[in-house]
Amino acid sequence: VLEVYDYTCAACGARLLLGGDTLVVAAHIIPFSVAQNDKPTNGMALCPNHHWAMDRFLIAPCPAPKRREGVWRVSRRLDDRIHSQRELLNLDGKPVIPPGEDKFYPAEEGLRWREERLATAG
């Protein structure tokens, strides 16, 4: 997953690769504990902040009609009056930064799973 995303966060575009160390981690779209799915189409590279926020349903990659890779949506629990939450809020509607090859784009099933949980978590 990290290679197909070129070690780039699919949310913010952060990329740092020093020797064998990288800033991003592989994140499951549908958690492995739920789907037992380790296929690259059920994963994306995310920096620690965006991985944490996605796991807590504050942000989610969601399906979009004209964007096969999906777009980011944010939880209603976030408040733009709170300065520290603005970075996450600014993701709303932005396209997911896609992997390098079409065959590794996030599966629509995973995007829908995230979208459903984002709606119910807020």
Q: How far is Cα 37 from Cα 8, in angstroms, rounded to an integer?
A: 22
Q: What is the pLDDT of residues 90-102, one digit of tens each?
A: 999 999 999 999 9
Indicate the pTM of the whole model. Answer: 0.94
pLDDT digit string, tens, across residues 9-58: 999 999 999 988 999 999 999 999 999 999 999 999 999 999 999 999 99
26's torsion region: left (phi>0), alpha (psi -120 to 50) or beta? beta
